[in-house]
Amino acid sequence: MKTGAEYIDSLRKLKINVYALGEKIEDITEHPLLKPHINAVALTYDLAHNPQFEDLVTATSHLTGKKINRFTHIHQSTEDLIKKVKMLRMIAQRTGSCFQRCVGFDALNALYSTTYEMDQALGTNYHQRFLKFLLYVQENDLVSAGSMTDPKGDRGLRPSQQPDPDQYVHIVSTNDDGIIIKGAKVHQTGIVNSHEMLIMPTVAMSEQDRDYAVACAVPTDAPGVIHIFGRQTNDERKLGGEIDQGNARYGIVGGEALTVLENVFVPWDRVFMAGEYQFTGMLVERFAAYHRQNYGGCKGGVSDVVIGAVATLAEYNGVAKASHIRDKITEMIHLVETLYGGSIACSAEGRPTKSGAYLVDTMLANVVKQNVSRYIYEIGRLAHDIAGGLIATLPAEKDLHHQEIGKYVKKYFTGVDQVPAEYRIRVARLIENMTGGTAQVESMHGAGSPQAQRVMILRQANLEHKKKLAQYLCGILNEC
């Protein structure tokens, strides 16, 4: 297993083609826009070597029997699913940010069981190809970026109906050696500092969409791959200073990018679906369930930091003992534990797939993410209520340290006596950056929009059975 330093060193060896703010980045490990996100991933490596967290962050490979980083593991039990959620909350508590390995983790697990069932039904050999790739990932302790979201173009049209065929990743051509794919993936968390990307379809396909039914593994620095790093709220603060960033070490959210695939060649041993449209729905739904499982863990951990920051600022403001402050903090805690409880529940209710790998309870996983799309906003609202308006109007870090005016910033932004104004400003900046802009939007749309979860919730609710229960109790039916 790699250490954090070894992971960062491995990134330097990549020839990744990345642009940010209109300029090509030569060394992603030193660029201020990317460095915090890389630090967050590096922590997932270092924690695997920490005896205190070893049980959560490592697992035993069912392929080799070796100890591996859990982010490369295939779930073998409900215990694995539960440990995943506990691990995510623990790491989020220590980063206060996205640590980016979850998407690839979930893609590995979704592809494992889907390729198995595809082979069983169609007589293909995708699962054996995938096992070879999985072993490569485990042996080299790689970061995989799960790449599902396509630009989609006109949402009212199927992939094959788009005026521009590249709005969904598709197979351009095939030959004896492999396939050529073209298109793009958008909003790709952590992809710029990943080793591999797992390309997957973003919707269930029909027969006319056959060319768009493609899943494969592509190195992030493969020829024809171009990454365009996305803007985040307050990202220019990373270009200078430290306090104004709020969380300078690990950043906010996960460093998303637009990844262009311009006629990228993929050899057959890295292709895990090529036209089998019948299994696109299974792959999408399983990936989505795994990914929605996460949010009570990672968002729970991040929200633990927000609660701690708000409680600290309340102390610095001199209002920590006020009953309404205590009541609002209690509500924030209640919301976080509700999210976490949902993630634990969908894990505990998981079941084995035909491959032997475990899948979460998909209904409960969708409920978790539906709640996240609401509760995180309420947690943020309560944080803003308690913290006060200064989180939106503070002078800059340069003003705080200015030779002439710094004394006024320190004087008039002091709260309770004995607490330096800088401490109050630091925690206020943390709250500002963790509860606004990009961080909130990711809670809404990460792992799919709220409507996507509502579609799945209704689909899996077994409404007909519920109707029969009611009809039996009121005497319409004799049995149910």
User: Which residues does the annotation mark as catalytic?
Assistant: 98, 102, 189, 256, 291, 295, 298, 442
341-358 core/surface letters (b: 16 or more CB in 10 A; e: else) = ebbbbbbeebeebebebb
Question: Shortest CA distance to 358 belongs to which of 82, 125, 92?
Answer: 82
Are 214 and 199 within 8 A, CB to CB? yes
Are 428 and 394 within 8 A, CB to CB? yes
The 3-state secondary structure of the chain, one letter per residue: CCCHHHHHHHHHCCCCCEEECCEEECCCCCCCCCHHHHHHHHHHHHHHHCCCCHHHHEEECCCCCCEEEHHHCCCCCHHHHHHHHHHHHHHHHHHCCCCCCHHHHHHHHHHHHHHHHHHHHHCCCHHHHHHHHHHHHHHHCCCEEEECCCCCCCCCCCHHHCCCHHHCCEEEEECCCEEEEEEEEEEEECHHHCCEEEECCCCCCCHHHHHHCEEEEEECCCCCEEEEECCCCCHHHHHCCCHHHCCCCCCCCCCEEEEEEEEEEEEHHHEEEECCHHHHHHHHHHHHHHHHHCHHHHHHHHHHHHHHHHHHHHHHHCCCCCHHHHHHHHHHHHHHHHHHHHHHHHHHCCEECCCCCEECCHHHHHHHHHHHHHHHHHHHHHHHHHHCCHHHHCCCHHHHCCCCCHHHHHHHCCCCCCCCHHHHHHHHHHHHHHCCCHHHHHHHHCCCCHHHHHHHHHHCCCHHHHHHHHHHHCCCCCCC
